[in-house]
Chain A
Amino acid sequence: MKKLGVYIHIPFCIKKCHYCDFQSFSNLEHIISEYVDALCMEIKSSKEKFKRYKIKSIFIGGGTPSILTIKDIDKILSVLYSTFEMDSFLEFSIESNPGTLTKEKVKYYTKSGINRLSIGLQAWQDQLLKKLGRIHDKDTFVKNFHLAREYGFNNINIDLMFSLPNQTFSHWEETLSNIVDLNPEHISSYSLKIEENTIFEKEYKSGRLNLPNEEEDRKMYEYTQGFLEKNGYHRYEISNFSKSNYECEHNKIYWKNEEYIGFGLGAHSYINRIRFSNTNDIKEYIYNIKQDKSSNIIEEKNSLKDEIAETMFLGLRMMAGIDLKYFEERYKKSPFEIYEKQILKLQSQGLLKVDDKNIQLTNKGIDLSNQVFVEFLLD
C-alpha cells in the first residue's frame, strides 16, 4: 500500500503575530464550527480516492489548531479515523500556541492518539514575545510544557526564532539554554524573515524595526548549531534539530518529495505528480464544500524532470542530503547523469560534498542554500 501524509489547516488565531504571513484570521471565531464541519465533509469525501493509501503522518497546523474546542477537534479526529487507514507507526502532530493550551485539551490530545505536540514559543523573553505580537508569556509556556509532559507527550517540538527585533546575542543564549534544560525531543530554529503584508514589513519599511545586523544574525546562527549539538540534538535539516529517532516524519515527506494530501483552507497537496491547493477564500471554501464541490486549484503538473529537480532541492535541505541509492531506485538514473555540470561546479565552489552514498550541502552550502538550489531548477 502507498504511504501518505495528511495535513489539516486550521486558519484561526486569537491574534495575528506581527511577522506572520500565513493563512490565518483573528476575527472569525464565529465561523469556526461551520469551518470545522466543512473540513470534516472535505475529509470524508476523499475516502474513496485514498482507499489504497496508508496514512503515515498527520499534521494539524495553522493558524492555531489549539484554539479549537475539544468538541471541534474531536469531530475532526473522528472523521480522520473513520476515513483513513492508519499506519501502525503513525506520527500525529498538532501545533499549539501556549496561550490557548489547557489541561483538558492536552489530556484530550494524548488520549485520542495525537502523539506529537509542537509548541510555538519563539523567544524566552517576555519583552521580545510582546514585540512579536505573541499572546502568551514565558511562564505560560513553561507551565504548559510541563502539563504536556504530565499528560503523556513524549515527543514535543519547540519552535524558536532568532534575529528578532531588539534581540541580543545573550537573549538568544538564554533562550537556548532554558529550552535545552526543558529537554524537548525536537527544536525548530528559524532566522526571522520579514514577509510581505505583515506588521513587521510596515515597521521595517518605515525604519522602526531594530533588527540585529548580519554579523549578529550569523553569530546567533552559528552558536545554535554548536550549542544544540553539544546538548544531544542533531541537525537533520537546515532549521531543524532533534534527539535521535525524533525527526519530524511529516516534514520529511515534503523534503523527500513524497505524496501528501492537505485539507482545509489554502491547504497544499502533492499526489500523482500534481501539486494543487485549496482556495484561500474561506467563504468560497465553505460554500463549495457544502455544494459538494471541490475547491482545488491545480498549481503544477510535474513532468519527471520537474519532479527530479524538486527532489534535488528539497532533499538537499536535509543534512543527510540525497541518498544516491534511493534516488537511483526512484528514477533509474543517478543524479550525476542529470546534473553532472551543476554538481561539479557546486563542489568546486565548496557548496556541495559528494561521497559514494550521498550528495550533501557543506556548511557553506547550508548558509547559501538558495544558490545551490537554483542550479537544479530546469530552464
Chain B
Amino acid sequence: MISNRQKRIRNFSIIAHIDHGKSTLADRLIEKTGLLTKREMKEQILDSMDLERERGITIKLQTTRLVYKDKTGEEYILNLIDTPGHVDFTYEVSRSLAACEGAVLVVDAAQGVEAQTLANVYLALDQNLEIVPVINKIDLPSARPEEIKHEIEEIIGIDASEAPLVSAKSGLNMEDVLEAIVKHVPAPTGDEDGTLKALIFDSYYDSYKGIIAYLSIKQGSVKRGDKILMMATGKKFEVTEVGIFVPGQVPVDELKAGDVGYLTASIKNVVDVRVGDTVTSADHPVDEPLPGYQKAVPMVYCGIYPAEGEKYGDVRDALEKLQVNDAALEFEAETSNALGFGFRCGFLGLLHMEIIQERLEREFDLDLIATSPSVIYRITKTNDEVVMIQNPTNLPPTEEISFMEEPIVAAKIMLPNEYVGNVMELCQDRRGNMKNMEYLDEKRVTLHYELPLNEVIYDFFDALKSKTKGYASLNYELNGYSRSKLVKMEILLNKDIIDAFSMIVHESKAESRGRIICEKLKEVIPRHMFAIPIQAAIGNKVIARENISALRKDVLAKCYGGDISRKKKLLQKQKEGKKRMRQLGSVEVPQEAFMAILKYDEDK
C-alpha cells in the first residue's frame, strides 16, 4: 500500500570510501535543491563537528531534507540520511541505512571500487536498499569512468550503465544524481493510518528541548501530545514536538509513514532513546518491534585522568555532557596511585575512545591523560569466585587466580585474494584462529577468524589496511570468552611501579611489548638529574629494561649583547615544558608517554 504522498518521498543515504567525495556530493545536492544559498553553506555542512572535518570522517549523524522539482515539474521530498564511516560504528551505520530505501554509492572515477566501498555496499544490501551508483571526480585527468562502470558491475554485481558521471567539486551533472534518486530509489511504504512504528536512527541532547530523537516512520503517524513507548527500554513519554530537518529543525504538525524527522518529549537521558529502538503508541503498542536492535556495549576501557588533579570535577561534568549524546560511552570514578582521581571509561572501540578524548580536550578545554586501553577479562579465582576485570590494577594476586579468560571476537575480513597471505600472517601474529575462508567470486575472499579482542583493539585495523593497501574491510562482534595464558605486565620508573602503565597481555607477547614500551618511554622521558632505570616486569621478573642516563649539562649559551629577553623566553619555555609533566614517583613524565604506550608498532 502506498499513498500519493509517499510516492513523492525518497529516503536515501550516501555511501562511499573515505575521500571519494561523499560530503562534497551531499553539499552540492543541498545547494542544487535550493534550500540554502551558497553564502549560507559552510563547506561540507553535513560534517558539522570540527573534529569530523579534520579527520574527514562523519561521527555524528546529520540528516537533511531536500525539495527537488524533477524534469517533469513534479516536486519530491528527498531525505538525505548521513552515515558514519568507521568500523567502530558499524551498528550505527546499519541503523541509518535501515531508515532508507536506497543508497547513492559514490565511486571515485580514478580510484574505482575500494574496500570500504564494498563493506558499505554489503551493509546496504543487508538492508535490501536499492543502490544508485554515481561516478565522481570525472574531471580528474586520471578519470576512467567506463572502466569504473565495469568494475562496479563486475565486483558489486549491480547495473552501472546509467550511473551519472559527475564532479561534486565543480557541481557538474548534479541534476543527473537527483533524477537517478527519484527514478531508482523506491518510495517508502507503510500504512499511514496504522499504529505508530518508527525507527530511532540517531539522537542527541539539546539543552532546551531535551533529547531529540531522529526517526524514520515505518507505519502510522505521530504528533504533539501523543503518548509514546520506547519498546526496548519500556519508557513512556508524551511528545512535545515533531519536525523535519532542513537541515535545521523545523516543527511540523505531524510525521507520517514514509517521513524522516525528529521528535522531542522532554526526555532527559540519552539511554532512554537508543539507536535502533522502535517507537510505538503507548496506548496501543504494536506487537513486534522493528528488527535489528542491539544495545551498544563498550568493548574497550581506559582510565581518563585530568592532567592537573584539581580539574577532576570538570572532567566529570564534561563526560556527563558527552554521555547525554553518546549512549555507548560509560564511565565511573576510579583512582590511580600515579594519577590520582579519574574515571574508568568504556568505549565501542579505539577510534571511539580517541574521539571522546579529543572532544573532551577540544570542546571542554581539558588536558587529559589516558591510560592503556584494556578489554574486560574474566578471572576465575582459586575459591571459584569469578570476577570481571577491566583495570589491570584490580587483578587479584597471581596465587589467587585459578585461570584467566579473555574476550574473543568473530571477525569477518573481506579482501581481494592477492592479500590473503599477508592477512593470514597478520591474524596469526595476533593469535587468531581461522574458522573459514569463502570465495565471493574469483577475486574476492572473506576470511572468518576468531581473534582475541585485546589484539584487535590496538592497531589491528591500521595494520590490516597497510597489509592490504586499504582494500580489506573488517567487521567483528563479541563471541564469548576463551581461556588464555595472560599475565599482568608492570612498568617501573626508577624502581617505582607506575600503575597507570600496567597492562594485561598474552604471555607470548609480554617480552616484545615490554621492550617496545621501555624503548618508547626512553625516547619521550627527558633526562633527569639522576639516572632512571625503566623496567617492564611480570611479578618480580624483569623482562625488558632501558636506562635514561643522568643529565650532565643544561646550560644556556653565551648571554650575548644583553639580549636577556631571549634567554628568559628559552627558560620560560623550559619551565612550561616542566609544568606539563606529570610526576610519577620520582620521575617527571610528559603526556606523550601515555600516548607512546598506546600506539605500538611491532615492525619496529
- Where the two chains meet, the residues of A that have a C-beta atom closer than 8 Å to any C-beta of B are 7, 9, 22, 61, 188, 190-191, 193, 195, 214, 217-218, 221, 238-239, 251, 253-255, 260, 262, 266-270, 275, 277, 299-300, 310, 313-314, 317, 349, 364, 366-371, 373-374, 377
Contacts and interface: CB of A to CB of B under 8 A. Distances in A.
Q: Closest 4 interchain pairs by CB?
A: A193-B557, A370-B554, A374-B575, A268-B562
B561 A214 contact: no
Contacts of A267: 561-562
Given A314-B559, A374-B571, 8 more contacts: A7-B561, A195-B557, A221-B553, A313-B571, A367-B554, A368-B529, A368-B555, A369-B556
A218 B552 contact: yes
Contacts of A22: 560-561
B561 A9 contact: yes
A190 B560 CA distance: 12
B574 interface: yes
30 contacts: A61-B560, A190-B558, A214-B552, A217-B553, A218-B552, A218-B553, A253-B562, A266-B561, A268-B565, A270-B562, A275-B564, A277-B563, A299-B565, A300-B565, A300-B568, A310-B564, A310-B568, A314-B559, A349-B529, A364-B529, A366-B555, A367-B554, A368-B551, A368-B552, A368-B555, A369-B556, A370-B554, A370-B555, A370-B556, A370-B574
A269 B562 contact: yes
A251 B563 CA distance: 12
Task: Give the interface centre of B555, B556, B562, B568 by most chain A CB atoms within 10 Å.
Answer: B562
B561 A368 contact: no
Contact of B561 (A217, A268, A310, A317): A268
A371 B529 contact: yes
B563 A214 contact: no
A129 B557 CA distance: 20
A377 B575 contact: yes
A238 B564 contact: no
A367 B559 contact: no
A299 B551 CA distance: 32
A317 B559 contact: yes
Contact of B568 (A190, A269, A377): A377
A369 B560 contact: no
Task: Give the interface centre of B552, B553, B555 by most chain A CB atoms within 10 Å.
Answer: B555
Contacts of A214: 552-553
Contacts of B561: 7, 9, 22, 61, 262, 266-268
A251 B559 CA distance: 9
B485 interface: no
Contacts of A299: 565
Contacts of A374: 571, 574-575, 578
A63 B555 CA distance: 23
Nearest to B560: A22
A262 B554 contact: no
B552 to A, nearest CB: 6
Interface in B546-596: 551-565, 568, 571-572, 574-575, 578
Interface of B: 529, 551-565, 568, 571-572, 574-575, 578
A255 B565 contact: no
Nearest to B557: A193
Contacts of B559: 251, 254-255, 314, 317
Nearest to B550: A368
A303 to B, nearest CB: 13
B529 A254 contact: no
Contacts of A251: 559
Contacts of B564: 254, 268, 270, 275, 310, 314
Contacts of B553: 191, 214, 217-218, 221, 367-368
Contacts of B557: 190-191, 193, 195
A191 B555 contact: yes
A262 B562 CA distance: 8
A22 B552 CA distance: 27
Task: Give the interface centre of B553, B559, B574 by most chain A CB atoms within 10 Å.
Answer: B553
B540 to A, nearest CB: 31
Nearest to A23: B561
Contacts of B560: 22, 61
Contacts of A253: 562
A119 to B, nearest CB: 16
Nearest to A193: B557
Contacts of A195: 557
B562 A377 contact: no
Nearest to B530: A349
Contacts of A377: 568, 571-572, 575
A211 B555 CA distance: 17
A76 B449 CA distance: 84
A255 B559 CA distance: 9
A373 B574 CA distance: 10
A22 to B, nearest CB: 7
Nearest to B574: A374
A367 B575 CA distance: 17
A366 B555 CA distance: 8
Contacts of B578: 374
B561 to A, nearest CB: 6
A216 to B, nearest CB: 12
B574 A238 contact: no
Nearest to B579: A379
Given A9-B561, A268-B565, A368 B572 contact: no
Contacts of B568: 300, 310, 313, 377
Nearest to A374: B575
Nearest to B570: A370
Contacts of A369: 554-556
A218 B550 CA distance: 13
A364 B565 CA distance: 25
Contacts of A277: 563, 565
A191 B558 CA distance: 9
